[in-house]
Structure 1
Amino acid sequence: MTPQQRAGQLVMVGIQAGSAPSAVDQVIRDARIGNVLFLGGWSSTTSVRAVSDHVQAQANSRSTGGVRFLVAADQEGGEVQQLRGPGFTRLPSALRQGTMTSAERQRLAGTVGRELKAAGVNVNLAPVADTVPAGTASSNAPIGRFGREYGTDPTTVGASVRDVVTGLHGAGVLATVKHFPGLGRIRSNTDFSATGITDAQTRRRDPYFAPFATGVGAGAGLVMVSSARYPRLDANAPAVFSPTVLTTVLRGDLGFSGVVISDDLAAVAVRSVPVGERAVRLVAAGGDIALTGRPADAATMANALAAKAAADPAFDARVRAAVTRVLALKARQGLLPGCRG
């Protein structure tokens, strides 16, 4: 791979509902972006499959070194289900799923996985492993207010996370455990606010890490990291840019060796950081894929990663290690040249 192709493997770009299949062709061609995400309210398997097939056809020796794409969607259930309409089961909220039996949850997750695979999607950005304390849901804007949590205690949440990971993987779709180290104790939504996003409670070896550890133990291929702040873990940086959170805690304490993906780096929570620097800081901290809903930002991020790697041998080593993890994940899905997905 060229340096730019390596950088492109570390960026995921959003495709908005209703976009033409060619919507991200230019950013793939120019910046060598290697991963995509469906955003908004897509309305059928047919429309999603048309785009996913078109995107995969853009993988060639010049663009991605022939490596095909991680194609992701947020298919949690309830309020957060980006793919709907014919071919997609209308899913209950995570809170409702948390009341099901283990067998029921695994069957539902298997159904979700099969539907995603039929649409050409190979990554689900679920399950949510955040625990929202009892009685606080209405004041927890990102998770509790929408019933995105499986329960109010880590044991209940962990059991659901395990079942969803197991069901998705059984259907051939990668699961993403999110939003480490947890959004259940903050007030505001990091997508829309830079205030009210500090969790002053979560500490190292926190009991609320248990559902994430369960997901890792169940074989989750990805962990998504939040852009909230956790001063008892790192007083100087949000989680998504924190070596303590990503490397010491997630990779060290929890033993996660897979792909670390950011929450949306187009979020208000990180808007004060220059676009390219967001991706650089993620990878420097131990992360692997910078996710953004903005195609223009994706090119800026990939270019910044390539430029930093060219100027800094230590950072280049970080990039190469991250690319190795991404390619190992893609190998599991048959996305490398010569593999059949």
Structure 2
Amino acid sequence: MGLDPGLRRLALGTLLAAYPGPVPPDWAVDLLADGLAGHTLFGTNIHDPAQVAATTAALRAGRPDVLIAIDEEGGDVTRLAHATGSPYPGNAALGAVDDVTLTRQVYAAIGAELAALGINLDLAPTVDVNTADENPVIGTRSFGADPARVAAHSAAAVAGLQSAGVAACAKHFPGHGATVADSHYELPTVDVPPAVLRERDLPPFAAVVDAGVRAVMTAHIRVPALTGDGPATFSRAVLVDLLRREYGFTGAVITDALEMKGAALAAGGVGPAAVRALAAGADLLCIGAKVDADLVAHVVEEIVAALADGRLDRARVEEAAGRAAELAAWAVAGGTAARTPDGLGYAAALRAVRVEGDVAGLTAPLVVQVHATSTIAEGRVPWGLGPHLAGVEEVRAVAGETDPDELRRLAGERPIVLVGRHLHRLPGAPELVDALAATHPVTVVEMGWPGGWRPTGARAFVTTYGASHANGRAAAQVLGLAG
């Protein structure tokens, strides 16, 4: 016997699905007609602007008020520019510049680009306060380590995005910035009392609520004092008592991807995770990136079964679907896209570069890019100085494996520019830098979260606060190496 059509439609109204490839398959469009709230676009869905516009038009043929979401943060997390790197610096660079008007402009520009392509929900900005230098998943996605600065820029980012008619989604509540684990792979724990969260992690969320943010994303993190053994995504104390009652948020609560280990392992699968998130007060459930029709059907069946056996109250699911529909209705109304100043992102990235030491006289150096892995959030997006160099030799190196003597021989009499991401926590990288600096003039370009580490004996330490295309061009320009 099939599912009750009304309950199936109700369950679908709480789901953000996804699909593979650049063309929406029939099932993805058919589900929209059946009531699915929307889809999230990932890099695999995006080839070029014309194709994306055709994609969003095809999805709207399924239902005009579909939510079409994307993770477009600028900086290191980009889907539209995943093949080249973003033309905008990310939050860490904007926080370093500390010009809230610039932050609003950059996010308004991102919003205008999304709106022109038919995308109406940006799963951004990241408003986490990055207080852990070793944080493997936030880092340069954060406006910084100071709650007041992060709060001011978070509000500006929300205002910028939403001025273009694109709904903003502030993430990751109640704050992922103090973690040293990645919730894509495990359930991180932030073992602090609520008073510490209120002082350190929550001010940016208060600021975006005041700024009228349309959506807030949950964090798959465990805060024992509030969430017990499970993640915040499954906690009514976090989503209802804290976010809604204490901070007064009235918009849509969106889950981080339920396929992530921080949620799926804690619940015993994506379907049970969906039920627990809805029961806790979430409204729109992001299933994840690897989604097909069978997975959507499975999640729907789990929700309908939970309605039947009492694990879920129908009024709660109706409330969730209603908030998702309100979010879509707001996005359909649109905004007013301001004209983006030419080269806005590149000029902003240049303002963010910080130089400690002397970078004069870098004529024809050997540029060494140190290999760094990418997080799931970032994906494999090109980074570094390579695309911006004019007549300069560049080689790749693997920290802990590359012999410094080989690089010395290759450099000869030339100075060395060593480019990396998160060098302070990359095994073997500080040792490689120090070994080279003992015999050569070495300039270090840090394109990740800089932390407190500085190399011994280096001639200069250059911080870009991100590894976007804009950040790479800015670094090459500051070093006098740009073409």
TM-score (norm 2): 0.62
Task: Give distance in 1, aligned partners of 2:100 and 2:325.
Answer: 32
Q: Structure 1 residues 241, 31: closer, same or farther in 2, change over 3 A?
A: farther
Q: 1:15-26 maps to which residues of 2 (within 5 A)?
A: 15-16=19-20, 18-22=21-25, 24-25=27-28
Greater alpha carbon shift after TM alignment, 114-123 vs 44-53: 44-53
SS in 1 for 2:303: helix
Aligned match of 1:199: 190
Q: Structure 1 residues 97, 298: closer, same or farther in 2, change over 3 A?
A: farther
Aligned match of 2:286: 291
Q: Structure 1 residues 122, 281: closer, same or farther in 2, change over 3 A?
A: same
Whether 1:68 and 2:65 are equivalent positions in the alignment is: yes
Question: Which amino acid is 1:333 matched to?
Answer: A
Aligned match of 1:9: 13
Task: Give distance in 2, aligned partners of 1:26 and 1:175.
Answer: 24
Alignment deviations for residues 275-309 of structure 1 (CA, whole Å, 9 cap, x no partner): 21111100100111110223243332222222322
Aligned match of 2:227: 234
Task: Give distance in 2, aligned partners of 1:30 and 1:105.
Answer: 37
Task: Give distance in 1, aligned partners of 2:55 and 2:68.
Answer: 10
Whether 1:181 and 2:174 are equivalent positions in the alignment is: yes
Alignment deviations for residues 103-152 of structure 1 (CA, whole Å, 9 cap, x no partner): 2111111111110001110011111110012xx32x101101xx110011
Task: Give distance in 1, aligned partners of 2:34 and 2:78.
Answer: 29
| Contact map agreement 1:33 1:302 (CA 8 A) in 2 | no
Whether 1:161 and 2:163 are equivalent positions in the alignment is: no
Task: Give distance in 1, aligned partners of 2:49 and 2:221.
Answer: 34
Whether 1:150 and 2:163 are equivalent positions in the alignment is: no
> How far off is 1:202 after superposition?
5.3
SS in 2 for 1:281: helix
> How far off is 1:47 after superposition?
1.8
| Contact map agreement 2:29 2:61 (CA 8 A) in 1 | no
Alignment deviations for residues 225-284 of structure 1 (CA, whole Å, 9 cap, x no partner): 011111121213210001111111111111111100100110122232222111110010
Q: 1:255-274 maps to which residues of 2 (within 5 A)?
A: 255-272=248-265, 273-274=268-269
> How far off is 1:325 after superposition?
1.3
Q: 1:124-139 maps to which residues of 2 (within 5 A)?
A: 124-133=122-131, 136-137=132-133, 139=134
Task: Give distance in 1, aligned partners of 2:33 and 2:310.
Answer: 23
Question: Which amino acid is 1:172 matched to?
Answer: G
Aligned match of 1:63: none
SS in 1 for 2:40: strand
Of 39, 42, 45, the residue aligned with 2:42 is 39
SS in 1 for 2:169: strand
SS in 1 for 2:150: helix
Structure 2 spans left out of the alignment, 5+ residues: 334-483
Q: 1:213-252 maps to which residues of 2 (within 5 A)?
A: 213-252=206-245
SS in 2 for 1:175: strand
Moved over 6 A (4+): none
Question: Which amino acid is 1:5 matched to?
Answer: R
Task: Give distance in 2, aligned partners of 1:310 and 1:118.
Answer: 42
SS in 2 for 1:76: coil
Q: Structure 1 residues 158, 314: closer, same or farther in 2, change over 3 A?
A: same
Whether 1:78 and 2:75 are equivalent positions in the alignment is: yes
Structure 1 spans left out of the alignment, 5+ residues: 60-66, 336-341
Task: Give distance in 2, aligned partners of 1:201 and 1:313.
Answer: 30
Task: Give distance in 2, aligned partners of 1:245 and 1:258.
Answer: 15
Alignment deviations for residues 194-243 of structure 1 (CA, whole Å, 9 cap, x no partner): 4xx10112515621201011011101110000111111212132100011
> How far off is 1:19 after superposition?
3.0
| Contact map agreement 1:31 1:299 (CA 8 A) in 2 | no
Task: Give distance in 1, aligned partners of 2:27 and 2:181.
Answer: 31
Task: Give distance in 1, aligned partners of 2:158 and 2:313.
Answer: 32
> How far off is 1:30 after superposition?
9.4
- Number of equivalences: 320
Q: Which has the larger radius of gyration?
A: 2
Task: Give distance in 2, aligned partners of 1:14 and 1:325.
Answer: 20
Q: Structure 1 residues 250, 165: closer, same or farther in 2, change over 3 A?
A: same
SS in 2 for 1:233: helix
Over the matched positions of the two proteins, sequence identity in percent amounts to 30
Task: Give distance in 1, aligned partners of 2:311 and 2:152.
Answer: 42
| Contact map agreement 1:225 1:261 (CA 8 A) in 2 | yes
Root mean square deviation of aligned Cα: 2.4
